[in-house]
Structure 1
Amino acid sequence: MGLRRTIEWTEGGVSIIDQTKLPDELAIVNCEDTERMARAIETMEIRGAPAIGVAAAMGIALSAKGAFSGEEDLIKKLDSAASRMASTRPTARNLFWAIERMRGVWDRRRGSGALAISEAVIEEAKKIAEEDVKVCRRIGENGATLLEDGDCIMTYCNAGALACVEHGTALGVIRSACRAGKRIEVVVPETRPLLQGARLTAFELKSEGIPFKLITDGMVARLMQKGLVDKVVVGADRITRHGDVVNKVGTCGVAIIARRYGVPFYVAAPLSTVDLRADPEEIAIEERPPQEVTEIRGIRIAPAGVSALNPAFDVTPRDLVDGIITEAGVQRPPFDLTLFQAE
């Protein structure tokens, strides 16, 4: 990305890029305790499924830095921190995957003493962050093989370095292709209501010098209809074992249009995004405040008092997905992501 990591463990807490301030200001926030990290996730100071998975792990680890009277007291604090993290946002699988992994640390070490558990919890959170970097680079390398020199790629929302520790998933594929010498141009829908495409993806691409054009969400069909898009690559917040994809609201519409005009539609995500148990209709879709629709950065754009719907995500059916790119490789339909999990 050419910038610092999105999230880092420090001696004084956890340092994050405040994404609500971008692109105007690169502000750094220090989360000193579990509650501050939880609020950062809820307010989307940090967002993106892989990033909030890391944030949840580090938020739990922050509770291991505080004072505790013994092993049982520490475990109570860790359990409480895990519950608080689980309450932040309901949809991204990575968040719950990270919480489950962190719980395993103290469950396995019961009886080893408070200090040993505390140290192990902190080390596990750091390990999850470092793994995310390696995983995203493998996703990028695997996905880059699908892109041709001269391709115009449409992405959606932000699945870049800002959505991970660094490098990114969907944007990681584009980054890796560019670094391999391929000439890639990117089309970036603005992504209402919070404009993650305009604010975050455009910021990343501009910082890296990758050519792109910003469009409104309503222009997606026009560009594909005119043959101006070669492939679509998006990220994901949750993927079912059979390839149904939960991602930023509007993704399903992009996939439908891509299928109509014969544009390959790919999803890039780590295996920690895969939910082997849930069916699409069982996944909780987060409802965000209506003010995010009726206002843009605090400025009202709709008549006062109007009601608004604001689901944060939608579900793209598996039959609209041409390939899922993970650190284990690229899988094409019919999808069975348990095969990758087994590896």
Structure 2
Amino acid sequence: MNDARLDFDRYDRIRPIRWTGDSLELLDQRKLPFVVEYVACTGSAAVAEAIHALTVRGAPAIGIAAAWGVVLAARDVQADSGAEAALKLEPAMQQLNAARPTAVNLAWALARMRNVLGGAGPDWRDVLTREAQSIADEDLAANRRMGELGAALIAPGSDVMTHCNTGSLATAGFGTALGVIRAGVAQGRIAKVYAGETRPWLQGARLTAWELQQDGIAPTLVADAAAAHLMKTGAVDWVIVGADRICANGDTANKIGTYSLAIAARHHGVKFMVVAPSSTVDMATPSGDAIHIEERDPGEMFAIGGVRTAAPDIAAWNPVFDVTPAELIDAIVTEKGVIERPDQAKMQAAFSA
């Protein structure tokens, strides 16, 4: 892994979240790849709106942004202790938590902020700032570790497919599934990368393809509907995706379309890997049946880039996520290790503590 370690800087150039000390700057992912622009948030309400509006997206990045949102909210609070501040900050934290309910990292990050407040004294603002920075730093370290672990599963010269965006744009840096891909490319394990376009927000076409280009990796874009046919041709050895929530039995919620890829992969003998930090694992949710699936404005289905493509006066159904059953997953990779063919017993053994 030494060669890949030397290449971390080469394959890790993008930072979607920047804390300036005065504001939180978020790379506006709605405008990529044509405009690279940061939105400055000076309050927690602005951070919550940015999360809801997909200015910032990706489960780990949402959690990091929410943590900094709490730091911003603290500026408007007068309190002599962390416990007192926690009560006054709760409305802001509830607003942040409601911005995207499916991604468990959001609630996880806010729980960490609440936890450190509980034992903080008069320096509680500094305690919050240090915790938010720790959440970001730990995510970057975890991503690099997952890159090592996931790449080790892939035979040299393999071709892989990914879905949505799971790279630096969705995390503190390096990425989850794209982190594995970056490490695999650096090691010569991955020869070709296929990126699904990811309707209706086109995160694969707009974000993943652009992000890989920045690192000198040339992706091949495919329509979501072409994925099964591509697998049938034998062109794909692994499907590598991220996750927004991993349940106690290994069921995984991820961007809509992931379940379809998993079914097609199993049918065609293609391996299926889920890559996510341990903060995405929710042992309190027994299975995918208990996951709340966020639905967004049906109007997002009617146009691309502001140009209407659908007939007028029709309805649309717009779920943002789907659930892939554990039995369709060959490996779950977190910074704590690899779980092959996950089930409830293996998840319990890995994450019960």
The interval holding the TM-score normalised by the smaller chain is over 0.9
Instruction: Check if 1:204 corresponds to 2:214.
Output: no
Cα deviation for residue 108 of structure 1 reads 2.3
**TM-superposition CA deviations, 1:252-296 (whole Å, max 9, x none):** 000000000000011000000001011211111000111111111
Cα distance in 2 for partners of 1:96, 1:206 equals 32
Cα distance in 2 for partners of 1:233, 1:124 equals 30
Q: Secondary structure at the match of 1:201?
A: helix
What is the aligned counterpart of 2:17 among 7, 13, 32? 7
Q: Provide the identity percentage.
A: 45
Cα deviation for residue 117 of structure 1 reads 1.1
List aligned pairs for 1:46-85, cutoff 5 A. 46-66=56-76, 68=78, 70-71=80-81, 74-85=85-96
* 8 Å CA contact 2:159, 2:238 repeated in 1: yes
CA gap of 1:309–1:238, structure 2 versus 1, over 3 A, is same
Instruction: Check if 1:297 corresponds to 2:305.
Output: yes
Cα distance in 1 for partners of 2:301, 2:270 equals 29
Corresponding position of 2:195: 188
Instruction: Check if 1:91 corresponds to 2:102.
Output: yes
Q: Secondary structure at the match of 1:11?
A: coil
Cα distance in 2 for partners of 1:55, 1:91 equals 16
* 8 Å CA contact 2:151, 2:189 repeated in 1: no
Cα deviation for residue 215 of structure 1 reads 0.7
Corresponding position of 2:113: 102
Cα distance in 1 for partners of 2:219, 2:132 equals 35
Cα deviation for residue 69 of structure 1 reads 5.5
Cα distance in 1 for partners of 2:59, 2:39 equals 19
Cα distance in 2 for partners of 1:260, 1:20 equals 34
Corresponding position of 1:333: 341
What is the aligned counterpart of 2:53 among 38, 43, 48? 43
Instruction: Check if 1:18 corresponds to 2:19.
Output: no
Pick which of 140-149 and 195-204 moved more.
Answer: 140-149
Structure 1: 5+ residue stretches without partners: none
Cα deviation for residue 6 of structure 1 reads 1.2
Cα deviation for residue 339 of structure 1 reads 2.6
Instruction: Check if 1:319 corresponds to 2:330.
Output: no
Instruction: Count the aligned residue pairs.
Output: 339
Corresponding position of 1:138: 145
Cα distance in 1 for partners of 2:342, 2:324 equals 15
* 8 Å CA contact 2:86, 2:114 repeated in 1: no
Corresponding position of 2:8: none
Pick which of 318-327 and 1-10 moved more.
Answer: 1-10
Q: Secondary structure at the match of 1:184?
A: strand
Cα deviation for residue 181 of structure 1 reads 3.6
Structure 2: 5+ residue stretches without partners: 1-10
> What letter corresponds to residue 55 of structure 2 in structure 1?
E
* 8 Å CA contact 2:241, 2:275 repeated in 1: yes
Pick which of 133-142 and 206-215 moved more.
Answer: 206-215
What is the aligned counterpart of 1:244 among 229, 244, 251? 251
* 8 Å CA contact 2:59, 2:171 repeated in 1: yes
**TM-superposition CA deviations, 1:39-86 (whole Å, max 9, x none):** 000000000001001111111111123352544763333212211111
Q: Secondary structure at the match of 1:331?
A: strand
Corresponding position of 1:284: 292
Structure 1 vs Structure 2 CA RMSD: 1.5
Cα distance in 2 for partners of 1:3, 1:27 equals 16
* 8 Å CA contact 1:246, 1:313 repeated in 2: yes
Cα deviation for residue 341 of structure 1 reads 2.6
Corresponding position of 1:28: 38
CA gap of 1:4–1:321, structure 2 versus 1, over 3 A, is closer
Cα deviation for residue 146 of structure 1 reads 1.3
Corresponding position of 1:168: 175
**TM-score w.r.t. length of structure 2:** 0.92
